[in-house]
A and B are shown apart, each in its own frame.
Chain A
Amino acid sequence: MFSFCTDPATLPQWQWFACYLTTGTHFAFYRSFVMVILLLAITAPVALGMGLLGAMAVRSRIWPVSWLGKGYVNIVRGVPDIVFFMFVPIALGQGIEWVFHQINCPDWDQPIRQGNDFIVCREARVPGPNAPAWVRSTYAFSMAVIAYALVFGAFAANTLYGAMQAVPRAQVETAEAYGMTRAQAFRRIIMPQMWIYALPGLSNIWQILIKATPLLFLLGIQDAVYWARELGGQKTSLYTYPHPDWRVWYFLVLLCFYLFLTWGSERVFARLNRRLSRGQATAAGERMRKAAA
């Protein structure tokens, strides 16, 4: 990175560190923090969308839809989700390959499961046998996003369903008295008002989602935990930057990163809560009304 970095062995302390912290692998480490944020930024809206769909399905009057919603919420919530994180990417990957296999190679006569192998024809491999590395890592990453969205969507569905039920009944009855249909009342009355009731639960789920992101490591993705282990481990003098076992410092950085993330989002949610309480028929909203009057 810097011009003086050609021979690190002779450098004084601070220059050595300046060079050490700007190596290519360290930039991969820094990028993995961006990846955590990216994962959160993609997963949160998707999970919220899944949650909204799930909650609407549970409320539905058509019983197959409502059963589907209830099944989704209860099955995902009833099983430890670490199991889901490991299960969904593999199962989904095999499922996708199986579908492609059925489409592309209809005249394949061997069984797909042979002993301990899962064998599909060459055209059905996803990602393809000679796909570039970035396609493979993007594929692995999107599998992880789907697993996270599935699990957290079920949590969100449960919270949003509770919030929809919590909107005061009188509000909905008033809407009906104005001649609104069920769908109209849902769109105009329940949807705008339910968020204040959903917020404590959603903030809780968000915090759990943040704390679930290091589990990416278990899916074999090169995330912050992976790099902290790689970079922190003892390096002998064969390496350009030899150092003893520094893993504890790297994990301290990770620990602080997550503490900062949860602390920051707690503050954001507190603000959001104040903002959403304005004009609501809740204790907090009433307090704000009295303070203003």
Chain B
Amino acid sequence: MRSCGESFDAYILRALGRDWGERLLPRGLDITMCDQLVLIGSGLIWTFYFAALAIGIGFFLAVAVAVAKTSETPWVSRPASAFVFVFRGSPLFIQFFFFYSAFVLLPRTGIDIPLGFVTLTVQTSALTTAQVGGLIVLVLNTTAYSAELFAGALRAIPKGDLDAADAYGLSGFTKFRRVVFPSMLRLAWPSYTNEAIFLTHSTTLVFLSAFPAREQAGEAFYYARYFVDQTFNPFVGYPIVAAYFILLTLGIVALFGFANRRLNRHLPRERRPRVRFRPQYIR
């Protein structure tokens, strides 16, 4: 039996790979409560990685797609709407499988793109790992969901705001940056908070679907499932991962609540929209 300190040393960074702690995961009767707490906690590294990068990249893409979706030009708005429809209309779980099996088909050596004077080689081998391929799927998915929110917010921007911008002689990108974009963020922020929470929770699906957990390096739910399979006792591993996720959710609510207060700092306190947590996880 390991003491708590020993399991902490052995497993706290184990999610990064075999070289970052004990090579083998605890097995069978050797599993202690501390092992479960530490190893599932170490899986949160990847939860953070997927959530932070997907939200960070997806945000900018989503703004672009939302602007395209509300565009007057059908050549721009149609593809954007189609993109949103495909990624919102199908389960994320199937999207993982689909993209994984597509990435596997790409040649391992990379794809050569001749650009006339120079040939560009795109590395494709990384795409079959969860850290790159899975992240791409998550980014595309959150882009679609957030773009829908942002497009709704763009349509709901008060007419007065736009009239005021016109009256000040703002136009084009300046108008977008100073008036349209902040108003859109303000309107969409409460639902965007929820989107960030859903996305964080759906990172659990990355290693549950097609993407392999190489060297048994996975995220929190992967380890919880591992322990339940080993001990055949669902009453320890799953509550631990649930508790971690509740903490994570509270953290996101706090972070986004802070951003929300900043976005609405010009309003009197009682008129500021509140972020309400409405969890609905599966997508």
Contacts and interface: CB of A to CB of B under 8 A. Distances in A.
Interface of A: 77-83, 86-87, 90-91, 94, 113, 115-118, 155, 204-205, 208, 210-215, 217-218, 225, 228-229, 232, 245, 247-248, 250-252, 254-255, 258-259, 262-263
B283 interface: yes
Contact of A82 (B85, B102, B232, B282): B282
Given A80-B245, A247-B101, A214 B234 contact: no
A252 B201 contact: no
B29 A115 contact: yes
A79 B101 CA distance: 31
A251 B105 CA distance: 13
Contact of B221 (A83, A90, A116): A83
A263 B201 CA distance: 25
B94 A262 contact: no
A258 B94 contact: yes
Given A81-B281, A113-B233, A118-B232, A214 B246 contact: no
Contact of A81 (B29, B93, B282): B282
B232 A116 contact: yes
Given A86-B225, A118-B232, A215-B282, A79 B90 contact: no
Contact of A255 (B90, B104, B241): B90
B242 interface: yes
Nearest to A262: B89
B233 A118 contact: yes
A255 B95 contact: yes
B225 A79 contact: no
A78 B89 contact: no
Contact of B91 (A212, A228, A232, A248): A212
A225 B221 CA distance: 20
B92 interface: yes
Contacts of A94: 234
22 contacts: A80-B204, A81-B281, A82-B205, A82-B208, A87-B234, A90-B232, A91-B234, A116-B28, A116-B231, A204-B280, A208-B280, A208-B282, A211-B92, A211-B93, A212-B282, A218-B208, A245-B101, A251-B94, A251-B98, A254-B97, A258-B89, A258-B94
Contacts, number: 120
A211 B283 contact: yes
Given A79-B245, A248-B98, A262 B90 contact: yes
A258 B31 CA distance: 40
A288 B270 CA distance: 36
Interface of B: 28-29, 31, 85-86, 88-95, 97-98, 101-102, 104-105, 201, 204-205, 208, 221, 224-225, 228, 230-235, 238, 241-242, 245-246, 279-283
B230 A80 contact: no
Contacts of B201: 80, 82
Nearest to B242: A79
Given A90-B234, A155-B280, A254 B94 contact: yes
A78 B233 CA distance: 22
A80 B98 contact: no
Given A82-B204, A82-B221, A252 B234 contact: no
B232 A117 contact: yes
Contacts of B102: 248
A234 to B, nearest CB: 10
B252 to A, nearest CB: 13
A255 B282 contact: no
A86 B234 contact: yes
B93 A214 contact: yes
A217 B201 CA distance: 18
A228 B105 CA distance: 16
A263 B89 contact: yes
Given A82-B204, A82-B221, A225 B94 contact: yes
A259 B233 contact: no
Contacts of A225: 93-94, 97
A117 to B, nearest CB: 7
A237 B28 CA distance: 40
A185 to B, nearest CB: 29
Nearest to A76: B279
Nearest to B283: A211
B28 to A, nearest CB: 6
A79 B232 CA distance: 21
B19 to A, nearest CB: 28
A259 B232 contact: no
Contacts of B94: 214, 225, 251, 254-255, 258
A214 B86 CA distance: 16
Contacts of B208: 82, 218
A110 B235 CA distance: 20
By Cβ-Cβ distance, the 9 closest A-B pairs, closest first, are A247-B101, A251-B98, A211-B91, A262-B89, A248-B101, A90-B234, A212-B282, A79-B242, A258-B90
A91 B232 CA distance: 10
B228 A86 contact: yes
